[in-house]
Structure 1
Amino acid sequence: MNKLLYIMSIGMLGLLFSCEKDESKATMLENPIVPTFQTIPDLTLTRAAGTNTLKFVGTLLNPGYNASAKYFLEACPKGNNFVNTAAILSDVQDTSMLITVSDLNSILLKKFPGDQVSEADLRIRAVMVVDGGTGSKTFEYTSETKTVNVTLYGLPRLDFITGGVVVGKVESALGNGVYAGFVKFDNTKTYTLKDPDANKTYGGNSGILSENGSAISINDNGWNKVNADVNGLTYAVAQYRIGLVGSASPNGWDSPDSPMDYDAATGTWQITVDLIVGEIKFRKNDGWAWNLGGTASSLVHNGANIAVSAAGNYTITLTITNDVGELGSFTIVKN
């Protein structure tokens, strides 16, 4: 991974001329030879190698004569047909295209999850503009799609581990040793926190962390918001339940609310639940101090009840855009 990202798909093209007396006429091949990948590096990206570079090797576009072309290295989720494309690099008539591992990781994180293996389709796309005398015309050619495994590293994180299994994580948005996130706990189990980058493990008690300390006991079941500071060696755990309440929900307007689960990959809260005709709202910790109502695109504190016009099984996804200001949006799909 300590190599140069180098697409040998850009440069001088082969010349094909038919000569008439003292003049030369450029002839475009009926089927230009498209770029191809020759080698693709290992795309298991790690934070430790962030300043290193990668090397892709390909062949040239050959339209049958010397022409300028712009080249793009692109990626998308496997089978997406480049509808949802990550543009990695582009350049014109150059012999090399440079990118660091950290820059590539940042680009691909917009399309792929971190800290897990994903399948990605890669291609080289060449765009050539030809001036025919009466106006220019654009031609586009793409290489054969290559499917590869991609492993990205997410934000610096601490993994919560119980029984040797990772059950949750908190992340450091600034990479400064201060972490936050949501973890679903079981009060019959104990937990250690592991920094996979530094290979350090933390335990603790009563809000104090210690390296290689005893596993932490959490006296609560369900989702909690966790804050941890490995610089100050402190942690805090606070109940954080998002639930569905209302006349259309299983328990009506009474608690306990129908619990939603957090999806760390999308940053949303989700539930699949049977509803009847009536109304619903979202609230935190079975209480009204924090609640959301309104429309699908605009949820606000103490907003209007949300109507459910037909009974059935629904999947509801809630996005909290501002926790403190109590703003959000949601989707509701009848299954």
Structure 2
Amino acid sequence: MKVFRQIGWAAALIPLLWACEAYEMPPIIPQTSSNISSPAAGASVILKKDDADKTDIEFTVTAADFGATGTVKYQLQMDLPNSNFAAPVKLGAETESNIVKVNVKELNDALLAKGLPFAKAANVQFRVVASINLALLPIIGEVTTLSVTPYDATVPMPLMYVPGDYQGWDPANPKTVLFSENFDKNFKGFVHILGGSREFKLTEGPNWDVNYGDTGANKTLDPDGDNIKVAADGTYEINVNLTAKTYTIGAVKRWGIVGDATPGGWDADTPMDVFDKVTNSLKITTNLKAGELKFRANNNWDFNFGGSNGALTAGGANIPVAAAGNYTITLSFDPAGAVTYTLVKN
């Protein structure tokens, strides 16, 4: 019996051995990335403002090898050190050449948008992304670090305009806008929607050429769509993802003043229910006592502002009122998230 069992095992192994001899591993296709050869790593690049929009920096890149024949194109990516290219900026048009031309103004604007100070050298990382017109993934090259000095330039943040019944359906009003702080087609801002139908739309420019509404009220933007409407008067934070064509509207906030200088003391807000559509600010004219006040929303302390000299910060210090009298008070949500106030005795 033992002999027959051994013969049986041998017979079972023979097909497996034949199968192993017939199997061949698929070939591994070697691939080579494209890297920057000029400017050399560590080189200093000083950007000049004169004719920046007409001047290019030429980056020489090595050829990528996908291990297959096709049309290969190259493009640069830029980001700051320690960012791991989490939000890279694409520079230069895709090209089949080994020279990628990057416009000086384009690069300077991107660096300032990343928060680099002008007229000061800073390390900046670049890499090449090579692609091919085949069903193959792009190849990302090695990182090259250069010392780059941006020039002084004012880079206006991209805007999205919010015309509506609350401000006279005026898309050219520069105060009722949202801002793309990261230049990434994501816009946000605060809009005071008080009075009228509380309907509004969103436009890409200070005109009606490209406008968005929401047909179906499903939080999706539709070109020339229906007016968007909020249910109650108040201040709203609006966020727009223009790439995905989606938007969100934060919870309504009704702003007021509170403090021992105000009619309601520290227990009840005095509402700021006058809206100046020209300046996009809230106002109130009321009698104040000598004392202190703050701005807060919805009659609770979840959202409150304090400060001094016209500047406000969330949870900031109480604002002193030196003398009793009749005052006009304004509250403004300004560009890039700044919040300011005025306190004028009449």
Instruction: Give the structure with the higher percent strand.
Output: 1
Structure 1 length normalisation: TM-score? Answer: 0.44
TM-score, structure 2 as length reference: 0.43
Structure with the higher fraction of residues in helix conformation: 2
Instruction: Please tell me whether Structure 1 or Structure 2 has the larger radius of gyration of its CA atoms.
Output: 2
